[in-house]
Structure 1
Amino acid sequence: MSNPAAFRDQSNWSGGFYELAIEVGSTEDSAIQAVLSAVWSAAGARGSFAFTDREPAEQEPVPCTVASLTAYGHLHGQVLLPPGQLAVCGAVAIRGGDDTSDWLDFYVPAGALDKAGIPYWDGRPFYRSAVLDDWLAGVGTATFERAPFSLGVIGWEVSGCTDAATLAGRLPQERGIGYLLPQKEGLLYGEAND
């Protein structure tokens, strides 16, 4: 059986990302750093590495920082998925510029999900996994407790599909993805329902 935690196996990194995409609510390095540190910790991600063409034991770790994201584009690690299978994971920042918020995406690639045996597609025109959605909602909730953010969205390649300003504090009635929406009472999880 192939190993979904192997860095060198490039098929683990293929096929796009199932992700928790977080709208940071700021363009300050300190804000995105707080979210990066919190999400990496909340997910229990192991290691922080720059390269996917060598195994973690074959490279020096890099700091889990905005500076490393800027230098290398992505940070890579390994994470224990809900059924207990270790798989590759990563994070990438999408910097918004002066007039928009930054995003931080924490992801598990489809290739690794396939090898871990986690179903995320049932023939509908979109990908969805209740197991991954609930796990990523838990990661997002724990992240929010340490580093509040404007919005979290959960699903297949969801980064930037909406933003906090567009939602204006309200969940859509029909949801093809999961939402983590800050409210006065705390963070509201609106699971995918269509």
Structure 2
Amino acid sequence: MTSPAGFRDQTNWSDGYYELAIEVGSSDDAQIQAVLSALWSAADVHGCFGRRDREPEEQGPVPCTVGSLTEFGHVYGQVRLPTGQLVVCGCVAIRGGDEGSDWLDFYVPVGALDQAGIAYWDGRPVFRSDVLDEWLAAIGAETFQSASFSMGVIGFEVSGCTDASTLAGKLPQTRDIGYLLPQGDYLLYGAANS
């Protein structure tokens, strides 16, 4: 039997990503590092590795840094879902350059969710999991307490689907995805409702 926490099992990394995508609001490496460190800690990720074709015990850990993201493209670990299952996870930085702000995407691949038996469709017209949404929202809220950011979105491959300037601090009334919007010192969570 395969494990949803196995790095070598490439089916764990298949079919896209369920993610918490955070618009950092800056392209400053120090701010991106602050959000990355807070996010990794809030999610309680086990390990930080630069390769997904070797099991964690077959490779040395890498620092959980912007430098590692630059060098490897992604960093990988294992995280415990709210159901108790340990699964593979990762994070990637999407740098906006002169065009806009940078994003950090923390994700669990759908292949691993399938192997963990997570129901994420429930017959809805939109690919979604209420259990994962609430869990990722809590991770986002804890991250925000340590390192502020412009906004976050939660769902299936949601990075860049909108941005803080477009939303202007207001939640859409009808939401196919979850939103995390700063309101001063606290983070407003608008769950998907459609």
Question: TM-score if structure 1 supplies the norm length?
Answer: 0.98
In 2, Cα distance between equivalents of 1:185 and 1:64: 26
2:109 matched residue in structure 1: 109
Deviations 1:110-134 (A, max 9, x none): 0000001111113434210000000
Say yes or no: does 1:162 pair with 2:162: yes
In 1, Cα distance between equivalents of 2:60 and 2:11: 22
Gaps of 5+ in 1: none
In 2, Cα distance between equivalents of 1:31 and 1:188: 21
In 1, Cα distance between equivalents of 2:78 and 2:57: 12
In 1, Cα distance between equivalents of 2:192 and 2:116: 23
1:183 matched residue in structure 2: 183
C-alpha root-mean-square deviation of aligned residues, in Å? 0.9
Aligned residue pair count: 194
2:137 matched residue in structure 1: 137
- Aligned to 1:70, the other structure's residue is in SS state helix
Gaps of 5+ in 2: none
2:67 matched residue in structure 1: 67
In 2, Cα distance between equivalents of 1:27 and 1:184: 21
1:6 matched residue in structure 2: 6
In 2, Cα distance between equivalents of 1:57 and 1:154: 31
Instruction: Please tell me the residue identity of whatever aligns with 2:85.
Output: Q
Instruction: Please tell me the residue identity of whatever aligns with 1:114.
Output: D
Deviations 1:40-61 (A, max 9, x none): 0000001000111110000011
1:28 matched residue in structure 2: 28
- Aligned to 1:118, the other structure's residue is in SS state coil
Instruction: Please tell me the residue identity of whatever aligns with 2:47.
Output: G
In 2, Cα distance between equivalents of 1:49 and 1:130: 29
Instruction: Please tell me the residue identity of whatever aligns with 1:147.
Output: A
Percentage identity across paired residues of the two chains: 71
Deviations 1:143-169 (A, max 9, x none): 000000000000000000000000001
1:171 matched residue in structure 2: 171
